[in-house]
A = this chain, B = another copy of it.
């Protein structure tokens, strides 16, 4: 039952989880006070288990701390934390071509070359948000330059490290679409609309015309450019429900701001299908990967339950509910919320587990890794907190 009381209760849960149960963990354990930057490899209790630093993890935490600073009362601890990341990245991130090394030693010496463009994407978003927090022009300029490099490199994101034989089997990758949607959201007050809009339109076209498996309303992780399916190979059959939902809520948010109601309804339908095929009716939760024909892929962690999958699904369901008011989305939101808050938070040390087994028990108890930092969690908590509040305000007082 949706009423003001329930919305208030949920809003409090998301806000408390953000500001009291998770943010302090990262402020306390992740910031490197010696060299700047962030540790992301954190044990359950916050101990660092690897001192290396990973650019996309740095960019993501920079984004989160800046965003919380901007949106939740200008907390100086967040700004100080953001600065530690921004200064480290400004000093150590870049190759002489202006690309971003994938990883660094604790002191900033580069370890791994920029063999893909994801480091650039998240460092770009981080600098943009840090600019909004501080007004630092250099941070804005770096975000703009990175966006330009990403647009140049995205046709061949692995560059000289591309292992695939050129043109042997061309796939359009969903993650490059998602990244452009994300950057549209993050850069729309920094990069001119006449630059961003054509990129957006191209990606909307790719998404709907290539990546939607129309007969089954599923979103393919890798699609054939121009349309059609390649189901003879596991690459072409890969489904990542969490990824599909993340991509779709980005786009839904953009379409809402652009006032495109028709496509929102199409997206809502696809989201409903995604959560329906993503959710495991037997064991609960959403596996990371599925196969379009129910066969097999090459991801051995496919059946695990990962934090980000559930968080992005929460954002997707709540935004879809907010914009369509279809009851199914609210029910899915509550169902995923119950699973997520039952299994992921660590009552003892705070913060959330990242990796559960298919039964919902921690497969590993770490709080951060080469892949997990403070990003999906605060973003979802912020989004849901705000959207729950919007819903509250939209209800007439009589429903109290």
With a 10 A CB-CB cut-off, give which of A102, A293, A296, A302 has the most chain B CB atoms. A296
- A302 / chain B contacts, CB cutoff of 8 Å: 364
- A101 / chain B contacts, CB cutoff of 8 Å: 165
In the assembled complex, the CB of A24 is this many whole angstroms from the nearest CB of chain B, namely 22
Q: List 18 A-B contacts (CB under 8 A).
A: A41-B296, A49-B296, A101-B165, A105-B168, A111-B165, A112-B164, A112-B165, A113-B163, A113-B164, A115-B163, A161-B161, A161-B163, A296-B364, A298-B370, A298-B371, A300-B300, A300-B301, A300-B304
CB contact list, A251-293 vs B, under 8 A? 293
The answer to whether the Cβ of A43 comes within 8 Å of any Cβ in the partner chain is yes
- A232 / chain B contacts, CB cutoff of 8 Å: 50-51
CB contact list, A161-212 vs B, under 8 A? 161, 163-165, 168-169
- A355 / chain B contacts, CB cutoff of 8 Å: 300
- A366 / chain B contacts, CB cutoff of 8 Å: 296
Distance of A296 Cα from B41 Cα, bound (Å): 9
Instruction: Establish whether residues B296 and A168, one from each chain, have CB atoms under 8 Å apart when the complex forms.
Output: no
The answer to whether the Cβ of A160 comes within 8 Å of any Cβ in the partner chain is yes
The answer to whether the Cβ of A5 comes within 8 Å of any Cβ in the partner chain is no
The answer to whether the Cβ of A1 comes within 8 Å of any Cβ in the partner chain is no
Number of interface residues of A (CB under 8 A): 43
CB contact list, A351-381 vs B, under 8 A? 355, 357-358, 363-364, 366, 369-371
Instruction: Establish whether residues B168 and A111, one from each chain, have CB atoms under 8 Å apart when the complex forms.
Output: yes
Distance of A233 Cα from B49 Cα, bound (Å): 7
Distance of A307 Cα from B95 Cα, bound (Å): 43
In the assembled complex, the CB of A113 is this many whole angstroms from the nearest CB of chain B, namely 5
Instruction: Establish whether residues A43 and B296, one from each chain, have CB atoms under 8 Å apart when the complex forms.
Output: yes
Distance of A127 Cα from B169 Cα, bound (Å): 29
With a 10 A CB-CB cut-off, give which of A51, A160, A295, A302 has the most chain B CB atoms. A295
CB contact list, A33-55 vs B, under 8 A? 41, 43, 49-52
The answer to whether the Cβ of A110 comes within 8 Å of any Cβ in the partner chain is yes
In the assembled complex, the CB of A206 is this many whole angstroms from the nearest CB of chain B, namely 23
The answer to whether the Cβ of A70 comes within 8 Å of any Cβ in the partner chain is no
Instruction: Establish whether residues B43 and A295, one from each chain, have CB atoms under 8 Å apart when the complex forms.
Output: yes
The answer to whether the Cβ of A217 comes within 8 Å of any Cβ in the partner chain is no
The answer to whether the Cβ of A303 comes within 8 Å of any Cβ in the partner chain is yes
- A303 / chain B contacts, CB cutoff of 8 Å: 363
Distance of A302 Cα from B101 Cα, bound (Å): 27
A296-319 CB mask vs B (1 if < 8 Å, else 0) is: 101011111000000000000000
The answer to whether the Cβ of A234 comes within 8 Å of any Cβ in the partner chain is yes
